[in-house]
Amino acid sequence: MDNSYKIKVQHVTKEYDLYKSQAEKLRAFFSLSNSTVPHFWSLMGISLEVKPGETLGLIGVNGSGKSTLSNIISGIIPQTTGTVDVRGDTSIIAIGAGLRGNLTGLENIRLKALMQGLTNPEIDALMDDIVSFADIGDFLYQPVKSYSSGMKSRLGFSIAVHVNPDILIIDEALSVGDDTFYQKCVDKISEFKDEGKTIVFVSHSLKQVEILCDRVAWIHYGTLKEIGATADVVKHYREFTKWFKGQTKKEKKHFQRQMKTNQKSFDIDAYQKQVTEERQAAAPDDPNVAAEVKKDFYGSVISEKMSWGNRLLTFGVAIVFVLACLVNVSGHSVSEVLQNPGSIVHPETVLHDSNKTTNVK
Protein backbone atom coordinates (compact mmCIF):
# COMPACT_ATOMS: atom_id res chain seq x y z
CA MET A 1 0.00 0.00 0.00
CA ASP A 2 1.15 3.53 -0.83
CA ASN A 3 1.94 5.12 2.53
CA SER A 4 3.16 8.42 1.12
CA TYR A 5 -0.17 10.03 1.90
CA LYS A 6 -2.93 9.77 4.49
CA ILE A 7 -5.56 11.60 2.47
CA LYS A 8 -5.57 11.89 -1.31
CA VAL A 9 -8.14 14.03 -3.06
CA GLN A 10 -8.28 13.79 -6.84
CA HIS A 11 -10.35 15.86 -9.30
CA VAL A 12 -12.93 16.64 -6.65
CA THR A 13 -15.77 18.88 -7.72
CA LYS A 14 -18.98 19.89 -5.98
CA GLU A 15 -22.00 21.17 -7.85
CA TYR A 16 -25.04 22.77 -6.30
CA ASP A 17 -28.34 23.48 -8.05
CA LEU A 18 -29.50 26.92 -7.01
CA TYR A 19 -33.26 26.34 -6.71
CA LYS A 20 -35.22 29.43 -5.70
CA SER A 21 -37.88 27.41 -3.87
CA GLN A 22 -39.00 23.88 -3.00
CA ALA A 23 -41.64 24.18 -5.72
CA GLU A 24 -38.93 24.87 -8.31
CA LYS A 25 -36.99 21.83 -7.05
CA LEU A 26 -40.10 19.67 -7.43
CA ARG A 27 -40.77 21.05 -10.92
CA ALA A 28 -37.19 20.30 -11.94
CA PHE A 29 -37.57 16.75 -10.64
CA PHE A 30 -40.52 16.04 -12.93
CA SER A 31 -39.51 18.18 -15.89
CA LEU A 32 -37.46 16.90 -18.84
CA SER A 33 -34.54 19.13 -18.00
CA ASN A 34 -33.38 21.35 -15.15
CA SER A 35 -31.29 23.44 -17.49
CA THR A 36 -33.18 26.57 -16.41
CA VAL A 37 -31.96 26.12 -12.83
CA PRO A 38 -28.63 27.89 -12.30
CA HIS A 39 -25.76 25.64 -11.24
CA PHE A 40 -22.95 26.62 -8.95
CA TRP A 41 -19.65 24.77 -8.71
CA SER A 42 -18.38 25.20 -5.18
CA LEU A 43 -15.28 23.16 -6.11
CA MET A 44 -13.96 22.94 -9.67
CA GLY A 45 -11.42 20.12 -9.58
CA ILE A 46 -9.29 19.95 -6.45
CA SER A 47 -6.40 17.49 -6.24
CA LEU A 48 -4.12 17.37 -3.22
CA GLU A 49 -2.50 15.02 -0.72
CA VAL A 50 -2.12 15.20 3.04
CA LYS A 51 0.91 13.28 4.29
CA PRO A 52 0.78 11.05 7.39
CA GLY A 53 1.41 13.11 10.53
CA GLU A 54 1.06 16.37 8.65
CA THR A 55 -1.07 19.36 9.61
CA LEU A 56 -2.46 20.88 6.42
CA GLY A 57 -4.07 24.30 6.63
CA LEU A 58 -6.90 25.32 4.32
CA ILE A 59 -7.10 29.07 3.76
CA GLY A 60 -9.05 31.29 1.39
CA VAL A 61 -11.58 34.10 1.31
CA ASN A 62 -15.22 33.63 2.44
CA GLY A 63 -17.08 31.22 0.19
CA SER A 64 -13.96 29.89 -1.51
CA GLY A 65 -14.85 26.25 -0.74
CA LYS A 66 -12.79 25.37 2.36
CA SER A 67 -15.69 23.92 4.35
CA THR A 68 -17.06 22.14 1.30
CA LEU A 69 -13.70 20.43 0.83
CA SER A 70 -13.26 19.56 4.51
CA ASN A 71 -16.84 18.22 4.66
CA ILE A 72 -16.19 16.02 1.61
CA ILE A 73 -12.96 14.69 3.17
CA SER A 74 -14.88 13.97 6.41
CA GLY A 75 -17.58 12.12 4.46
CA ILE A 76 -20.28 14.54 5.62
CA ILE A 77 -21.29 15.48 2.06
CA PRO A 78 -20.60 13.62 -1.19
CA GLN A 79 -18.48 15.03 -3.99
CA THR A 80 -19.97 15.43 -7.47
CA THR A 81 -16.92 13.95 -9.16
CA GLY A 82 -13.52 12.69 -8.09
CA THR A 83 -12.02 10.40 -5.51
CA VAL A 84 -11.22 10.85 -1.83
CA ASP A 85 -8.86 8.17 -0.58
CA VAL A 86 -8.33 8.04 3.18
CA ARG A 87 -5.61 5.60 4.18
CA GLY A 88 -5.08 3.29 7.10
CA ASP A 89 -7.00 2.69 10.28
CA THR A 90 -9.03 5.82 9.93
CA SER A 91 -11.24 7.31 12.49
CA ILE A 92 -11.81 10.68 10.97
CA ILE A 93 -13.60 13.24 13.06
CA ALA A 94 -14.89 16.67 12.19
CA ILE A 95 -15.46 18.88 15.17
CA GLY A 96 -18.69 20.59 14.23
CA ALA A 97 -20.28 17.57 12.62
CA GLY A 98 -22.79 15.21 14.10
CA LEU A 99 -24.05 17.18 17.11
CA ARG A 100 -27.80 16.60 17.39
CA GLY A 101 -29.70 19.72 18.46
CA ASN A 102 -32.47 17.87 20.28
CA LEU A 103 -30.10 15.85 22.44
CA THR A 104 -28.33 17.20 25.53
CA GLY A 105 -24.59 17.71 25.63
CA LEU A 106 -24.17 14.51 27.66
CA GLU A 107 -26.27 12.50 25.20
CA ASN A 108 -24.29 13.95 22.31
CA ILE A 109 -21.02 12.90 23.91
CA ARG A 110 -22.24 9.31 24.14
CA LEU A 111 -23.75 9.30 20.65
CA LYS A 112 -20.71 10.74 18.90
CA ALA A 113 -18.33 8.46 20.81
CA LEU A 114 -20.48 5.41 19.96
CA MET A 115 -20.41 6.48 16.31
CA GLN A 116 -16.62 6.56 16.55
CA GLY A 117 -16.73 2.90 17.60
CA LEU A 118 -16.16 3.29 21.36
CA THR A 119 -17.95 0.96 23.76
CA ASN A 120 -20.09 2.20 26.67
CA PRO A 121 -17.45 1.31 29.32
CA GLU A 122 -14.81 3.15 27.23
CA ILE A 123 -17.08 6.19 27.03
CA ASP A 124 -17.75 6.05 30.80
CA ALA A 125 -13.99 6.08 31.41
CA LEU A 126 -13.54 9.17 29.18
CA MET A 127 -16.66 11.07 30.25
CA ASP A 128 -15.07 13.14 33.06
CA ASP A 129 -12.18 14.26 30.83
CA ILE A 130 -14.52 15.24 27.99
CA VAL A 131 -16.84 17.14 30.36
CA SER A 132 -14.00 18.95 32.11
CA PHE A 133 -12.26 19.94 28.83
CA ALA A 134 -15.54 21.29 27.36
CA ASP A 135 -16.21 23.23 30.58
CA ILE A 136 -19.77 24.27 29.71
CA GLY A 137 -21.24 23.81 33.21
CA ASP A 138 -24.92 22.96 33.55
CA PHE A 139 -25.47 23.41 29.83
CA LEU A 140 -24.31 19.81 29.60
CA TYR A 141 -27.86 18.80 30.58
CA GLN A 142 -29.55 21.15 28.08
CA PRO A 143 -30.36 20.39 24.42
CA VAL A 144 -27.50 21.43 22.15
CA LYS A 145 -29.88 23.63 20.13
CA SER A 146 -29.83 26.07 23.07
CA TYR A 147 -26.01 26.40 22.93
CA SER A 148 -24.09 29.39 21.61
CA SER A 149 -21.70 28.65 18.73
CA GLY A 150 -18.81 28.87 21.22
CA MET A 151 -20.38 26.20 23.45
CA LYS A 152 -21.03 23.91 20.49
CA SER A 153 -17.45 24.35 19.46
CA ARG A 154 -16.18 23.55 22.98
CA LEU A 155 -18.28 20.38 23.15
CA GLY A 156 -17.42 19.27 19.61
CA PHE A 157 -13.72 19.89 20.08
CA SER A 158 -13.64 18.12 23.43
CA ILE A 159 -15.39 15.00 22.08
CA ALA A 160 -13.22 14.95 18.95
CA VAL A 161 -9.87 15.10 20.72
CA HIS A 162 -10.79 12.53 23.38
CA VAL A 163 -11.98 9.70 21.14
CA ASN A 164 -8.48 9.24 19.78
CA PRO A 165 -9.09 9.78 16.07
CA ASP A 166 -6.51 9.03 13.42
CA ILE A 167 -7.36 12.13 11.46
CA LEU A 168 -8.74 15.33 12.92
CA ILE A 169 -10.63 17.85 10.79
CA ILE A 170 -10.86 21.24 12.48
CA ASP A 171 -13.08 23.77 10.72
CA GLU A 172 -13.02 27.23 12.32
CA ALA A 173 -13.46 25.65 15.75
CA LEU A 174 -10.90 27.91 17.38
CA SER A 175 -12.36 31.17 16.14
CA VAL A 176 -15.29 31.17 18.56
CA GLY A 177 -13.68 30.28 21.87
CA ASP A 178 -12.21 32.63 24.48
CA ASP A 179 -8.44 32.93 25.05
CA THR A 180 -8.21 30.22 27.75
CA PHE A 181 -10.12 27.70 25.67
CA TYR A 182 -8.13 28.66 22.58
CA GLN A 183 -4.85 27.92 24.40
CA LYS A 184 -6.19 24.56 25.64
CA CYS A 185 -7.10 23.66 22.05
CA VAL A 186 -3.73 24.72 20.67
CA ASP A 187 -2.00 22.60 23.35
CA LYS A 188 -4.20 19.61 22.49
CA ILE A 189 -3.54 20.02 18.76
CA SER A 190 0.21 20.19 19.48
CA GLU A 191 -0.13 16.94 21.50
CA PHE A 192 -1.83 15.37 18.49
CA LYS A 193 0.91 16.54 16.19
CA ASP A 194 3.55 15.07 18.53
CA GLU A 195 1.68 11.75 18.43
CA GLY A 196 2.00 11.80 14.63
CA LYS A 197 -1.68 12.30 13.85
CA THR A 198 -2.90 13.89 10.65
CA ILE A 199 -4.82 17.16 10.87
CA VAL A 200 -6.73 19.28 8.36
CA PHE A 201 -7.09 22.77 9.79
CA VAL A 202 -9.52 25.26 8.24
CA SER A 203 -9.03 28.80 9.46
CA HIS A 204 -9.25 32.49 8.60
CA SER A 205 -6.63 33.23 11.23
CA LEU A 206 -3.30 33.28 9.41
CA LYS A 207 -1.56 33.54 12.78
CA GLN A 208 -3.10 30.23 13.92
CA VAL A 209 -2.24 28.67 10.58
CA GLU A 210 1.37 29.84 10.88
CA ILE A 211 1.64 28.37 14.39
CA LEU A 212 0.02 25.01 13.66
CA CYS A 213 0.40 24.05 10.00
CA ASP A 214 3.24 22.28 8.21
CA ARG A 215 1.81 23.04 4.78
CA VAL A 216 -1.05 25.14 3.50
CA ALA A 217 -3.51 24.84 0.63
CA TRP A 218 -4.99 28.09 -0.63
CA ILE A 219 -8.50 27.47 -1.98
CA HIS A 220 -9.57 30.26 -4.31
CA TYR A 221 -13.17 30.37 -5.56
CA GLY A 222 -13.39 26.62 -6.01
CA THR A 223 -9.87 26.04 -7.30
CA LEU A 224 -6.58 25.12 -5.64
CA LYS A 225 -4.56 28.29 -6.15
CA GLU A 226 -1.43 27.09 -4.35
CA ILE A 227 -0.21 24.36 -2.00
CA GLY A 228 3.15 24.33 -0.28
CA ALA A 229 5.19 25.41 2.72
CA THR A 230 3.16 27.49 5.19
CA ALA A 231 5.42 30.57 5.00
CA ASP A 232 5.27 30.74 1.17
CA VAL A 233 1.55 30.19 0.73
CA VAL A 234 0.59 32.52 3.60
CA LYS A 235 2.88 35.21 2.14
CA HIS A 236 1.24 34.96 -1.28
CA TYR A 237 -2.24 34.92 0.25
CA ARG A 238 -1.42 38.06 2.28
CA GLU A 239 -0.23 39.75 -0.93
CA PHE A 240 -3.54 38.85 -2.57
CA THR A 241 -5.67 40.16 0.34
CA LYS A 242 -3.57 43.38 0.38
CA TRP A 243 -4.12 43.77 -3.37
CA PHE A 244 -7.85 43.11 -2.93
CA LYS A 245 -8.20 45.61 -0.10
CA GLY A 246 -6.50 48.21 -2.30
CA GLN A 247 -9.23 47.91 -4.96
CA THR A 248 -12.14 50.34 -5.15
CA LYS A 249 -15.57 49.13 -4.07
CA LYS A 250 -16.61 48.83 -7.72
CA GLU A 251 -13.47 46.88 -8.65
CA LYS A 252 -13.98 44.49 -5.72
CA LYS A 253 -17.58 43.82 -6.78
CA HIS A 254 -16.50 43.28 -10.37
CA PHE A 255 -13.78 40.82 -9.31
CA GLN A 256 -16.16 38.83 -7.08
CA ARG A 257 -18.84 38.75 -9.78
CA GLN A 258 -16.28 37.50 -12.29
CA MET A 259 -15.20 34.70 -9.94
CA LYS A 260 -18.80 33.63 -9.27
CA THR A 261 -19.58 33.71 -12.99
CA ASN A 262 -16.67 31.32 -13.58
CA GLN A 263 -18.12 29.01 -10.92
CA LYS A 264 -21.56 29.12 -12.55
CA SER A 265 -20.30 28.43 -16.05
CA PHE A 266 -17.80 25.68 -15.15
CA ASP A 267 -18.00 22.84 -17.68
CA ILE A 268 -17.34 19.45 -16.08
CA ASP A 269 -17.06 17.66 -19.45
CA ALA A 270 -14.45 20.14 -20.68
CA TYR A 271 -12.53 19.63 -17.42
CA GLN A 272 -12.64 15.84 -17.83
CA LYS A 273 -11.42 16.24 -21.44
CA GLN A 274 -8.58 18.48 -20.29
CA VAL A 275 -7.47 15.94 -17.63
CA THR A 276 -7.67 13.14 -20.21
CA GLU A 277 -5.54 15.08 -22.69
CA GLU A 278 -2.94 15.92 -20.05
CA ARG A 279 -2.67 12.26 -19.03
CA GLN A 280 -2.57 11.11 -22.65
CA ALA A 281 0.29 13.54 -23.32
CA ALA A 282 2.19 12.03 -20.36
CA ALA A 283 1.45 8.41 -21.42
CA PRO A 284 0.87 8.45 -25.21
CA ASP A 285 1.09 4.63 -25.50
CA ASP A 286 -1.51 3.87 -22.84
CA PRO A 287 -4.86 3.09 -24.53
CA ASN A 288 -6.75 3.06 -21.21
CA VAL A 289 -6.25 6.68 -20.20
CA ALA A 290 -9.77 7.87 -21.08
CA ALA A 291 -11.38 4.96 -19.21
CA GLU A 292 -9.15 5.53 -16.17
CA VAL A 293 -9.98 9.24 -16.07
CA LYS A 294 -13.69 8.41 -16.32
CA LYS A 295 -13.29 5.99 -13.42
CA ASP A 296 -11.40 8.62 -11.38
CA PHE A 297 -14.18 11.12 -12.04
CA TYR A 298 -17.27 8.97 -11.58
CA GLY A 299 -16.09 5.59 -10.22
CA SER A 300 -16.59 6.39 -6.55
CA VAL A 301 -19.55 8.74 -6.63
CA ILE A 302 -23.22 8.01 -6.47
CA SER A 303 -25.12 10.27 -8.82
CA GLU A 304 -27.15 12.77 -6.84
CA LYS A 305 -29.36 13.21 -9.87
CA MET A 306 -31.93 10.56 -10.77
CA SER A 307 -31.79 9.11 -14.26
CA TRP A 308 -34.95 9.35 -16.36
CA GLY A 309 -35.56 5.60 -16.00
CA ASN A 310 -35.48 5.93 -12.23
CA ARG A 311 -37.75 8.97 -12.26
CA LEU A 312 -40.35 7.06 -14.30
CA LEU A 313 -40.01 4.05 -12.02
CA THR A 314 -40.49 6.24 -8.93
CA PHE A 315 -43.51 7.88 -10.55
CA GLY A 316 -44.98 4.45 -11.46
CA VAL A 317 -44.45 3.10 -7.94
CA ALA A 318 -46.12 6.21 -6.48
CA ILE A 319 -49.19 5.75 -8.74
CA VAL A 320 -49.49 2.05 -7.82
CA PHE A 321 -49.17 2.96 -4.13
CA VAL A 322 -51.94 5.59 -4.34
CA LEU A 323 -54.19 3.17 -6.26
CA ALA A 324 -53.57 0.45 -3.69
CA CYS A 325 -54.57 2.84 -0.89
CA LEU A 326 -57.74 3.87 -2.77
CA VAL A 327 -58.69 0.24 -3.43
CA ASN A 328 -58.18 -0.50 0.21
CA VAL A 329 -60.51 2.27 1.43
CA SER A 330 -63.10 1.66 -1.30
CA GLY A 331 -63.87 -1.78 0.12
CA HIS A 332 -63.77 -3.44 -3.32
CA SER A 333 -61.50 -6.20 -4.52
CA VAL A 334 -58.62 -5.39 -6.87
CA SER A 335 -60.26 -7.29 -9.74
CA GLU A 336 -63.49 -5.27 -9.30
CA VAL A 337 -61.57 -2.01 -9.39
CA LEU A 338 -59.54 -3.10 -12.41
CA GLN A 339 -62.73 -3.90 -14.32
CA ASN A 340 -64.51 -0.78 -13.13
CA PRO A 341 -62.05 1.92 -11.95
CA GLY A 342 -65.00 4.29 -11.32
CA SER A 343 -65.98 2.19 -8.29
CA ILE A 344 -63.12 3.78 -6.36
CA VAL A 345 -64.63 7.25 -6.59
CA HIS A 346 -68.25 6.03 -6.57
CA PRO A 347 -68.18 3.36 -3.87
CA GLU A 348 -71.92 2.72 -4.25
CA THR A 349 -71.26 1.21 -7.69
CA VAL A 350 -70.27 -2.46 -7.71
CA LEU A 351 -69.77 -4.84 -10.56
CA HIS A 352 -71.68 -8.06 -10.63
CA ASP A 353 -70.41 -9.37 -13.91
CA SER A 354 -67.97 -8.17 -16.47
CA ASN A 355 -70.57 -6.35 -18.57
CA LYS A 356 -72.94 -4.65 -16.24
CA THR A 357 -72.82 -2.45 -13.19
CA THR A 358 -75.59 -2.21 -10.62
CA ASN A 359 -76.35 0.70 -8.40
CA VAL A 360 -76.85 -0.72 -4.91
CA LYS A 361 -78.49 2.35 -3.40
Q: Indicate the residue among 77 and 323 with the shorter CB distance to ligand ATP.
A: 77
Q: What's the CA angle centered on 191, arms 189 and 197, to 5 degrees?
A: 75
Cβ atoms 166, 91 nearer than 8 A: yes
* Length of the chain measured in residues: 361
Q: Smallest gap, in angstroms, from Cβ of residue 30 to ligand ATP?
A: 21
Minimum distance from residue 63 beta carbon to ligand ATP (Å)? 4
Question: For ligand ATP, which is the closer residue by CB, 106 or 259?
Answer: 259
- Kindly tell me which of 63 and 150 has the beta carbon lying closer to ligand ATP: 63
- Taking the complex as a whole, the smallest distance from the CB of residue 217 to ligand ATP amounts, in Å, to 12
Cα torsion angle, 130, 135, 140, 142, sign: negative
Q: Can you tell me the distance from the alpha carbon of 187 to that of 255, in angstroms, rounded to the nearest whole number?
A: 39
Shortest gap between Cβ of 207 and ligand ATP (angstroms)? 16
Q: Strand pairing of 81-86 and 39-50?
A: unpaired
Is 64 or 108 the residue whose CB approaches ligand ATP more closely?
64
Question: How many angstroms separate the CA atoms of 346 and 340, rounded?
Answer: 10
Give yes or no for a contact between 154 and 116, defined as CB atoms under 8 angstroms apart.
no
41 closest CA partner among 58, 59, 17: 17
Closest C-alpha to 104, from 80, 132, 139: 139
Shortest Cβ 266–ligand ATP spacing (Å) = 12
Q: Cα separation of 71 and 9, whole Å?
A: 12
CB of 287 to ligand ATP, least distance (A): 38
Q: How far apart are CA 191 and CA 184, in angstroms?
A: 11
**Integer CA distances (angstroms), 70 to 84, 225, 318, in order:** 11, 16, 37
Q: Measured from the CB atom, is 302 or 329 closer to ligand ATP?
A: 302
Give phi and psi for 66, each to the nearest 5: -65, -50
Query: Measured over all CA atoms, what is the biggest interatomic distance in the chain, rounded to whole angstroms?
Result: 89
Q: Minimum distance between the CB of residue 238 and ligand ATP, rounded to whole angstroms?
A: 16
* Residue 73: Cβ within 10 Å count: 23
Phi, psi angle pair for 190, to nearest 5°: -60, -40
Nearer to ligand ATP, 40 or 298 (CB): 40
In the bound state with ligand ATP, the residue whose beta carbon lies nearer, of 42 and 116, is 42
Pick 66 or 215: Cβ nearer ligand ATP: 66
User: Considering beta carbons, is residue 262 or 300 the nearer one to ligand ATP?
Assistant: 262
Spatial separation of the C-alpha atoms in residues 240 and 337, rounded to whole Å = 71
Please state the closest distance from residue 79 (CB atom) to ligand ATP, in A: 12
Contact 233, 216 (CB under 8 A): yes
The least distance separating ligand ATP from the CB of residue 157, rounded to whole angstroms, comes to 17
Identity of the amino acid at 331: G
**Number of C-alpha atoms within 13 angstroms, CB side, residue 152?**
21
Binding site for ligand ATP (CB under 6 A): 16, 40, 42, 60, 62-68
